[in-house]
Each structure stands twice: as structure tokens, then as C-alpha cells.
């Protein structure tokens, strides 16, 4: 008997889904346990060229603490927990792969936590304000589906080190199930985290020192970011919305849902930036799970309709397909953007580098017109 597929769905898609699932499961086989959150003492390297990078990360999470292993799980907490970390990051890395510490960490090859402490809310806000960049910018990273707390934390440290960000970027970690099979549970958890993300943004925006908050959401984290901004807009909190620079990397958002979100939010003072890839196979799987509904992260900027829509909706749609990926799926390209921060000048100083800079663009593999995720939203609109 011939198997029937939904209209327009290639017969090869079920095979693709299986391949993607196997790739994800293979990656999960060596997933880090909460033990990698325990601070370690590292001896000084013998050679000056082997000195690790030192970065700090602030975290706000609505995950429930794991009292046994010292981390955070996938259950939803009623209030935010705030933490501060210091990291040792191995020098001379050529890609975005994170090597987690073993019992005796090698600082030349492995990432490692060197300091960790929990903070009360007021102290966290003060630390965040102390990390505001000279132009008044502070960055918040919101991870995607299938991330554990420690994975999201180490990824934030990698981006911060590669981008050479002054101060400490902020991670907002929502209670992902950190499971390939947890897609629906993660979507529910993301929706349930809107108010907590709003609370974090509100705490930072209350300071006159903060001029711009870059909300960088990856994958399903982009869906959460858009929902949080929508909630702020519907509550008429325009002063906060006016400080937001939204950057969505490989956003796992249904195209029609995104259109509805944009309708409620309206034009943003700082145009929303979308980092898209036509060959993102993780989003192929997401689309299939959702009944062949197209995802925003796979928009084709060569389509005249997309460029016209971007201009009408005042969006920056940026194709990053040429950027190297390390996950085999094309879904983690955002992590490679940070190292190209110094080469952003060609994009910032071009004829389109204004606050009204909207439309479709391409970043090439050599780094032309490429920015760190934490710098893109702020620096590309610096003339505002």
C-alpha cells in the first residue's frame, strides 16, 4: 500500500526527521551533568600564549533548583533565581564546539567554571548595571528548545568570549525539558515564562543607565522573546519596548503566528533582526511536527515577497547560511557569529546603516557584515 503524505510534503521528509533525531540523540549522549557547574581551581599555564580567556555570565532562571546535584532541572519555579559565574575559556579555539571539564580540567582545552554564587535580586540588578556597555547597551540571551541549564550557560560563555564583550552578558534560562522528545513540553514552558522574562527586562530598563536592551532569542527562545515583547506592548509599556533591540536567530516560529505577533507589537523603534538559514534541518523537523507549517528561521531572502514583507514590516532579514555550523543541522550558526564582531564595520558604515535599515541582507562566510549576536541589535542602529 502506498503511504500518503500531507500535500506538498516530500516523501523523503520522514527519513530526514529520523536522521535529525539521530543526530540530536548522538549529541545528547555526551551531555554535561550539573557537576560542570561546580567551581574548580586551575593552575596557571606554563606558557603565556596558553592563558585562558576569563569571562563572566549573569543568569536569571525560572527553573526549579536541583538540590541534590546543584543545578537546575526542567520543572517550573514560581520565582526567578539569580546567579553569577566566572569562566575559564580555552584560548585559540577554531570553532564553537564546547569541551566540558573533566575531573581534572585542562584549561588549554576545556571550558570550566571558576566562580559561582547565588545573588539576591537587587544585587543581581546592580551587577547587571555594572556590566552595561559605554553606549548604554546590555544583552540578554534566551536559549532554545532542548537545552539544559548548564548547556545554555556554557554557550553564553562561549559567545561572550568570542565576541570579547565587556562586562557580563545575561542568560535567561527557561525550564526546557532538555529532551529531544520534549518539543511540546518546551513550547508550553516557553509560553509560561513570558512574565518572568518581562520581569527581568523591566528590572533592567528601570535604570536610566540602560539605553538599549538586546533581546537575543535562539530557536524556540525567539518565540518566547516575541511573546514577551507582545505582552509588554499589549500592556502599553512603550517606554520599555522603546529600549528593546530584538534579534531572533533561527526562530522556531510559525510564519502566521509571527505575522500575528508583529501585528500586535507594531513597528519597533529599533527594527527586529531575523538571522535565517535556508538549510536549517532542525527547523525542517519542527515544521513537520507542526503539520508542515513553515518556520520563520527558514525564510528565503531571495524571494521578492520576503523582501517586500521585510520592508513593509520594518524587519532586517539576514541570511547566515554561509556561516559555519558545528551541530550538523545548520541550527547553531548563531554561535559562530561572535568571532566576526570586529568585521561588522562594513555593515554598520554602509549606506543602509541607520535605525530605519530594513530589508534583506546576506552575511558571507568570510565575515563581511557579520556581528556578534550581543552587538548586532545595538551597534547596527547606533545612529538612532
Q: What are the DSSP calls for 76-110, one per residue? A: EEEEEEEEEEEEEE-TT--SS------SS--TTT-
H-assigned helices in 179-234: 183-191, 194-205, 220-234
Query: For position 104, what pLDDT does the model report?
Result: 85
Instruction: Tell which wins on pLDDT, 231 or 332.
Output: 231
Q: What is the CATH number of domain 13-379?
A: 3.40.50
- Greatest mean pLDDT range, 8-17, 26-35, 359-368: 26-35
Residue 323 has pLDDT above 80, yes or no: no
Domains of the chain, residue spans: 13-379
Task: Tell me the pairing of strands 212-218 and 170-173.
Answer: unpaired
Query: For position 371, what pLDDT does the model report?
Result: 40
H-assigned helices in 114-237: 121-130, 149-163, 183-191, 194-205, 220-234
Our CA angle for 69, 70, 76, nearest 5°, is 100
- Indicate the pTM of the whole model: 0.85
pLDDT tens for each residue of 283-320: 888 878 877 788 888 888 778 877 788 888 888 888 88
Q: Compute the distance between CA of residue 303 and CA of residue 294 in angstroms, rounded to an integer.
A: 14
Residue 29 has pLDDT above 80, yes or no: no
pLDDT tens for each residue of 179-228: 989 999 999 999 999 999 999 999 999 999 999 999 999 999 999 999 99
Q: Which of 93, 108, 117 is nearest to 338 (CA)?
A: 93
The SS3 call for residue 40 is coil
Residue 65 has pLDDT above 80, yes or no: yes
pLDDT tens for each residue of 236-268: 999 999 999 999 999 999 999 999 999 999 989
pLDDT tens for each residue of 118-142: 999 999 999 999 999 998 999 999 9
Residue 364 has pLDDT above 70, yes or no: no
Amino acid at each position: 500500500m502506498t503511504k500518503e503524505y500531507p500535500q506538498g510534503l516530500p516523501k523523503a521528509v520522514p527519513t530526514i526527521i529520523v536522521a535529525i533525531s539521530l543526530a540530536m540523540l548522538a549529541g545528547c549522549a555526551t551531555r554535561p551533568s550539573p557537576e560542570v557547574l561546580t567551581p574548580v581551581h586551575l593552575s596557571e599555564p606554563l606558557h603565556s600564549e596558553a592563558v585562558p580567556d576569563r569571562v563572566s555570565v549573569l543568569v536569571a532562571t525560572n527553573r526549579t533548583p536541583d538540590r541534590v546535584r546543584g543545578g537546575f532541572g526542567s520543572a517550573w519555579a514560581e520565582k526567578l533565581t539569580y546567579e553569577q559565574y566566572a569562566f575559564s575559556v580555552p584560548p585559540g579555539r577554531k570553532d564553537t564546539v564546547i569541551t566540558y571539564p573533566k575531573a581534572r580540567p585542562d584549561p588549554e582545552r576545556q571550558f570550566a567554571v571558576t566562580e559561582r554564587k547565588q545573588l539576591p535580586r537587587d544585587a543581581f540588578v546592580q551587577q547587571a548595571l555594572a556590566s552595561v556597555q559605554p553606549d548604554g547597551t546590555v544583552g540578554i540571551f534566551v536559549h532554545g528548545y532542548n537545552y539544559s541549564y548548564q548547556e545554555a550557560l556554557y554557550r553564553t560563555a562561549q559567545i561572550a568570549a568570542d565576541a570579547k564583550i565587556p562586562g557580563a552578558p545575561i542568560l535567561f534560562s527557561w525550564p526546557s525539558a532538555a529532551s529531544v522528545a520534549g518539543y511540546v513540553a518546551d513550547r508550553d514552558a516557553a509560553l509560561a515564562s513570558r512574565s518572568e522574562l518581562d520581569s527581568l527586562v523591566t528590572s533592567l530598563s528601570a535604570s536610566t543607565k540602560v539605553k538599549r536592551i538586546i533581546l537575543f532569542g535562539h530557536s524556540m527562545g525567539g518565540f518566547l522573546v516575541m511573546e514577551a515583547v507582545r505582552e509588554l506592548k499589549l500592556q502599553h509599556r512603550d517606554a520599555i519596548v522603546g529600549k528593546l533591540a530584538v534579534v531572533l536567530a533561527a526562530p522556531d516560529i510559525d510564519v502566521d503566528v509571527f505575522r500575528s505577533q508583529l501585528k500586535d507589537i507594531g513597528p519597533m523603534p529599533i527594527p527586529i533582526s531575523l538571522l535565517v538559514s535556508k538549510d536549517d534541518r532542525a527547523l525542517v523537523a519542527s515544521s513537520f511536527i507542526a503539520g508542515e507549517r513553515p518556520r520563520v528561521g527558514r525564510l528565503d531572502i531571495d524571494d521578492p515577497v520576503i523582501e517586500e514583507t521585510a520592508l513593509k514590516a520594518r524587519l532586517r532579514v539576514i541570511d547566515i547560511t554561509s556561516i559555519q555550523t558545528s551541530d550538523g543541522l545548520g541550527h547553531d550558526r548563531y554561535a559562530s557569529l561572535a568571532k566576526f564582531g570586529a568585521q561588522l564595520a562594513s555593515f554598520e558604515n554602509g549606506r543602509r546603516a541607520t535605525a530605519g535599515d530594513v530589508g534583506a541582507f546576506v552575511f558571507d562566510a568570510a565575515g563581511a557584515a557579520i556581528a556578534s549576536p550581543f552587538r548586532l541589535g545595538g551597534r547596527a542602529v547606533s545612529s538612532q
